[in-house]
Amino acid sequence: MRTAIIVAASLLVAAAAQAQSAPVPAGAITAADPASIVKALQAGGYRGAMKTNKTGQPYVESAANGSTFAIDLYNCDDNDKKIGCKTMLFSTWWKPEPYLTVALANRYNSKSMFGRAYINDKSELVLELPVTTVGGINQANFEDLVDWWSNVDNEMDKLIDDAAKPPAKPAVVTPTSNRSAG
């Protein structure tokens, strides 16, 4: 029995390793090739540029709905140099404001199937959408993904706009009498 479990576990590990190292079709977009992400963004009519963060790690910068967003690289063979990555993470954030609260993030998370929102340790509202690129993504699927991200970002913008509005002033009610003069 123990041997059967060890054999089954070994087969699962081997299958997972093979899936991650499976050949990627020519022209596919992958996190392992950040230039393919830039090229795909540009081909889809978006701005796309390679950037480097404060710690020297590469990421892709773009924009949708008039807002800048980043595509960070994760699940890498070398996380420090971002080599051999398998996952890209679309993300954007808003500077702290009193109306950007955990309750707002929770409201988004409870209503949205895609993306996740949270308040980070700098009190910024963060919106993210992780995507695996194992096996590659074709251009049509990538453009659909960016469109999904645009919708995710737009949904959050609507929630933020509603939260930023000052509360409505209560209506002034004039007392009336149901009695007739008599």
pTM, two decimal places: 0.78
pLDDT at 42 (0 to 100)? 97
Q: Positive or negative CA dihedral for 66, 70, 71, 75? A: negative
Block means of pLDDT (10 residues each) for the chain, length 182 residues? Answer: 40 41 85 96 96 90 93 89 91 96 97 95 97 96 96 95 82 59 52
pLDDT at 82 (0 to 100)? 80
Contact call for residues 148 and 129 (beta carbons, < 8 A)? yes
pLDDT at 126 (0 to 100)? 98
Domains for the chain: give ranges and CATH numbers: 24-164 (3.30.1460.70)
Contact call for residues 145 and 131 (beta carbons, < 8 A)? yes
pLDDT at 23 (0 to 100)? 82
In order, the DSSP letters of 110-166 are: HH-SS-EEEE-TTS-EEEEEEEE-TT-B-HHHHHHHHHHHHHHHHHHHHHHHHHHSP
